[in-house]
């Protein structure tokens, strides 16, 4: 056996081991979600059932936690994306010697443990409520505190996403638009935002997922309320059931469907853009007197 064949076998074994390590737990979990035993069991398979999905739907604590997680995630997106965008734009506008200090201040929440952020959020807003006329019944709630605590560091993630996109932005486009009479709001809406569209979509997805799966900050800031991760943590300490596997199957299914839909739409847009460029190229060649075949086909 030649060394090249040995290398191919080793690489194939490594790839198989990698994908087995990556997808093996997911496959086992999917099997336990449809297996009848009360304890998560992948083998032997004793039948096929959907009872665990029904029990998951009837688990009010789980459903309330899921609803709270979605609400918190959407609120975090509504706060962190504009804040991160404003910070990224500010980073490109301020004097270059001050950028280091500004960057350190805005990124520092990423270096702070989530437990510290959660505890400090509760203490800070409790003290704020004690020295203001705003009643705790209106503001001092677990969901609101969780949103504020999560947004304080998720905004830094969003900032990094926008900064990576803005490094490729040509400021000459803004200057040209301003010279042609456009106002600053018009430049922002018609030039900068379309350029940042991919970064905005990425920031929304990252912010929502970071909020949805966050535990360290949420478990301290949520107070008496519950989110999906805190409910799961409580139930896991008491012993897992196949209902948790059913929840994982549902989440993974939604994630796969979203990824597939996004990829289909992206490829469709790419095909339309390629077709538009091809038509424009043919029309341009026909205008400048291209080959007779192109001119005839264009006509």
Rounded CA separation 295/247 (Å): 60
Contact 32, 244 (CB under 8 A): no
pTM to 2 decimal places = 0.78
pLDDT of residue 297: 47
Structural domain includes residue 54: no
User: What is the tens place of the pLDDT at every residue in 214-250?
Assistant: 888 888 888 878 888 888 888 777 777 788 888 888 8
Q: What are the tens digits of pLDDT across the range 131-141?
A: 776 666 566 77
Residues 88 and 23 in one domain: no
Q: How far apart are CA 127 and CA 134, in angstroms?
A: 11
Which residues, in sequence order, are CB contacts of 20 under 8 Å at separation 6+?
Answer: none
- Mean pLDDT, the chain, whole residue set: 83
The answer on pLDDT for 74 being more than 90 is: yes
pLDDT band at 72 (very low <50, low <70, confident <90, very high): very high
Residue with tokens 């998560």: 40
Residue 136's pLDDT is 61
Which residue segment(s) compose the domain that 127 sits in?
59-240
Shared domain for 272 and 232, answered yes or no, is no
Question: Which of 222, 240, 258 is a domain's end point?
Answer: 240
pLDDT at 28 over 90: no
The angle at the Cα of 223, spanning 204 to 121, to the nearest 5 degrees, equals 65
Q: Confidence class of residue 1 from pLDDT cuts 50, 70 and 90?
A: low
Let me know if residue 88 belongs to a domain: yes
pLDDT of residue 138: 66
Same domain, 190 and 269: no
Region 189-205: mean pLDDT is 87
Q: Which of 92, 129, 117, 123 is nearest to 219 (CA)?
A: 117
Q: Do 225 and 101 lie in a common domain?
A: yes
| 92 in the same domain as 150 | yes
Domain count, the chain: 3
Cis peptide leading into residue 44 (ω within 30°)? yes
| Cβ neighbourhood burial of 279 (10 Å; 0-12, 13-18, 19+) | exposed
Higher pLDDT residue, 31 or 96? Answer: 31
- My answer on whether 219 and 252 are in the same domain is no
Q: Mean per-residue pLDDT for 134-161?
A: 83
pLDDT at 280: 85
Residue pair 228/70 in contact (Cβ under 8 Å)? The answer is: no
Do you know the residue count of the chain? Answer: 299
Following DSSP, what letter does each residue of 174-204 receive, concatenated? HHHHHHTT--HHHHIIIIIHHHHHHHHHHHH
Evaluate whether residue 274 is within a structural domain: yes
Asked if pLDDT for residue 107 goes beyond 70, the answer is: yes
């Amino acid at each position: 056996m030649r060394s090249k064949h040995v290398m191919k076998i080793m690489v194939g074994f490594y790839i198989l081991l990698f994908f087995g390590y990556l997808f093996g737990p997911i496959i086992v979990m999917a099997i336990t979600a449809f297996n009848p035993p009360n304890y998560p069991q992948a083998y032997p398979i004793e039948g096929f059932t959907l009872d665990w999905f029904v029990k998951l739907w009837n688990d009010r604590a789980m459903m309330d936690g899921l609803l709270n997680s979605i609400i918190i995630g959407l609120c975090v997106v509504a706060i962190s994306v504009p804040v991160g965008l404003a910070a990224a734009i500010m980073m490109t506008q301020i004097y270059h010697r001050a950028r280091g200090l500004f960057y350190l201040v805005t990124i520092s929440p990423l270096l702070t443990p989530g437990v510290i952020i959660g505890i400090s959020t509760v203490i800070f807003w409790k003290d704020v409520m004690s020295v203001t006329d705003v009643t705790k019944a209106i503001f001092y709630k677990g969901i609101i505190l969780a949103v504020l605590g999560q947004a304080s560091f998720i905004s830094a993630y969003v900032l990094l996403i926008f900064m990576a996109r803005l490094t490729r932005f040509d400021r000459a486009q803004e200057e040209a638009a301003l010279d042609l009479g456009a106002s600053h709001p018009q430049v922002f809406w018609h030039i900068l935002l379309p350029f940042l569209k991919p970064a905005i979509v990425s920031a929304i997805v990252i912010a929502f997922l970071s909020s949805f799966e966050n535990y360290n900050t949420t478990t301290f800031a949520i107070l008496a309320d519950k989110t999906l991760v805190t409910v799961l943590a409580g139930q896991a300490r008491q012993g897992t059931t196949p209902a948790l596997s059913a929840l994982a199957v549902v989440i993974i299914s939604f994630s796969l469907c979203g990824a597939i839909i996004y990829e289909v739409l992206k490829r469709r847009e790419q095909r339309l853009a390629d077709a538009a460029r091809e038509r424009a190229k043919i029309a341009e060649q026909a205008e400048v007197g291209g080959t007779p075949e192109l001119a005839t086909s264009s006509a």
